[in-house]
Amino acid sequence: MAITDNAEFFEKNFPTDWTIPADLTGRVFIAGLRENKECYYLVDFAQRTIKSCVVGIDNYIATFSKYIEQNLSNSNFPYACKSSTAVAFSFVQPHEGLELADGRVVVGMHNCSYAREIDFSQQQVGHMSEQDAFIPRMMSAQNSLDRVNGEYLYTVTDMQQRLRVYGGEKLELETELYSVDTAWNKPRKLASLKTLEAIHEVKQTPDPDYVILTEFCLTAQGSAPVLEEDPFATYSLWREYELAGLQTNRIYLIEKNSGSVRANEVDGKTPGHIEFSRADPERFYLSCHNLSKAHGKLILHGEAKLLGGRIRKGELQFSKHYHPKGLYRLTSHKLFSYKGENYIVLSAYPNRFHILLESSLHLHREEQLFNHEPIEAEGLHFCTLLGHMPIWIETSDNGRYILLFSNELIYIYDMLSHSLNHVQGYSHHGLFIGTAHLTNFNDSHY
């Protein structure tokens, strides 16, 4: 069956009641799901417009679901999903977009067999995939463009092997790193490796010879309790799940020309997103979320951690970290510059964000978005993501404004005045569930 059923495009001006600073510019892309369809918004702060696209994928989901039923028993469905359709939607989620030179947007999915292609100017959608239909392959969720030739860098992992692991087998997964031109012709295999999980992010390093890969395993070591009633109502049922802990994850450094692979275990749970310094191209920062997923909720297993490291002469080393009390679910972080100083801003569930000095990883400011009861420091915490709670973070073109998006609101924080404002209504189709990192397409550093 085809990957795409149909697509609709829309464009509207900013609501008249929005108060937006005159010097706030940027084209911020956010993606997610709406009523079992892909849903994309491009918020242009300079033009004061919101472009959107909704893509139907019923046939792809139906084929994917049937494949899951044929290859995995219900009792082994990941994340305590109750149906094969729910499993399929765990992997058919937009995760991060990047803009090509011709204006097309390519969105990595988390982790199915295609990447979505969107052309807002021509109002067309397409895909990048080995075939024009479902195949049992899992592409990486966040991808990069090669710094030398502009080709699209991504990985593919064997889906059947991944389902066998869900079924209880102990094996590493066959994964391949590819490069392809942006007309999607003639993909070239750059490396083969064994991984513990389908790859989350493929990141071209500032050194064009290397690519770095991250894993992000949301399945815990233990099994979530299965109950007909509310599984979260009785905490004692989760003790075994809590004690079993989270999976080990690795980070991989690949030399593109030789295909050589160096693997490092990460001293932090569920590592996801990596960014490189603007001041020192050898230095990187990796967010570790410390969470799992079950029964439709993300589950915190303790505080999150930001790891700092360095890549030098083909060697990857971790050197420092930021791990304060009260930092939970570090879903996204952004390196930016303002008035000659380099900063890192971190989102912190459920209602805060931290601004660090990059040079020292010392806290510069911690800001609160709204009142919320504190999260218990001990034990598991079951996340309920309400419409006003942001988990994605970006910055404006000039570095003055920090932008946080929830499913319903955009928060705007001013680095100069330390003031906070918010506007509502960007997700005007309603029922939006954001699943993707924000991307400011005007920021060449992304």
Please report, for the domain that includes residue 323, its CATH number.
2.130.10.10
| Alpha carbon of residue 78 to chain centroid | 19
Q: In this prediction, what percent of the chain has a pLDDT beyond 70?
A: 99
Tell me, yes or no, whether 243 lies in a domain. yes
Q: Is the pLDDT of residue 258 over 80?
A: yes
CA dihedral 265→270→275→280, nearest 10 degrees, is -40
Q: In this prediction, what percent of the chain has a pLDDT beyond 90?
A: 94
Closest CA to 202 of 167, 155, 241: 155
| Range 268-271, long-range pairs (CB < 8 A, 24+ positions) | 268/305, 268/307, 268/321, 269/245, 269/301, 269/302, 270/216, 270/217, 270/218, 270/246, 271/200, 271/214, 271/215, 271/216, 271/307
Tell me, yes or no, whether 446 lies in a domain. no
Q: Is the pLDDT of residue 140 over 80?
A: yes
- Tens digit of each residue's pLDDT (9 = 90 or more) over 98-122: 999 999 999 999 999 999 999 999 9
Closest CA to 41 of 421, 446, 429, 442: 429
pLDDT for residue 1: 56
Query: Side chain identity at 211, as an amino acid letter?
Result: V
| Alpha carbon of residue 191 to chain centroid | 23
Q: How far apart are CA 269 and CA 399, in angstroms?
A: 30
The range of the structural domain enclosing residue 221 comes to 6-440
What are the Cα distances from residue 377, in Å, to 224, 324, 328, 374, 401? 21, 12, 10, 9, 31
pLDDT for residue 445: 63
More confident residue, 166 or 376: 166
What are the Cα distances from residue 164, in Å, to 44, 161, 226, 295, 407? 44, 5, 21, 21, 34
Burial of 282 (C-beta count, 10 Å sphere; 0-12/13-18/19+): middle
Q: Is the pLDDT of residue 440 over 80?
A: yes
Q: Is the pLDDT of residue 77 over 90?
A: yes
- Tens digit of each residue's pLDDT (9 = 90 or more) over 400-415: 999 999 999 999 999 9
Tell me, yes or no, whether 23 lies in a domain. yes
Q: Is the pLDDT of residue 154 over 90?
A: yes
Per-residue confidence band for 227, with pLDDT thresholds at 50, 70 and 90: confident
Q: Tell me the average pLDDT across 345-358.
A: 97
Q: How far apart are CA 322 and CA 244, in angstroms?
A: 25
- Angle ∠(269,275,280) on CA atoms, nearest 5: 125
| Alpha carbon of residue 16 to chain centroid | 31
Tell me, yes or no, whether 445 lies in a domain. no
Q: How far apart are CA 320 and CA 347, in angstroms?
A: 19
- Tens digit of each residue's pLDDT (9 = 90 or more) over 159-210: 999 999 999 999 999 999 999 999 999 999 999 999 999 999 999 999 999 9
Q: How far apart are CA 385 and CA 406, in angstroms?
A: 9
Q: How much is the mean pLDDT over the chain?
A: 96
| β pairing state of 115-119 and 124-128 | antiparallel
- Tens digit of each residue's pLDDT (9 = 90 or more) over 306-344: 999 999 989 999 999 999 999 999 889 999 999 999 999
Query: Side chain identity at 57, as an amino acid letter?
Result: I
Q: How far apart are CA 143 and CA 212, in angstroms?
A: 10
Q: Tell me the average pLDDT across 76-83.
A: 96
Q: Is the pLDDT of residue 2 over 90?
A: no
Tell me, yes or no, whether 199 lies in a domain. yes
Number of domains in the chain: 1
User: What region, left, alpha or beta, does residue 139 occupy, with left being phi > 0 and alpha being psi -120 to 50 degrees?
Assistant: beta
Residue 315: Cβ within 10 Å count: 10
User: What region, left, alpha or beta, does residue 263 occupy, with left being phi > 0 and alpha being psi -120 to 50 degrees?
Assistant: beta
Query: Side chain identity at 290, as an amino acid letter?
Result: N
Residue 2, classed as helix, strand or coil, is coil
Tell me, yes or no, whether 245 lies in a domain. yes
Q: Is the pLDDT of residue 25 over 90?
A: yes
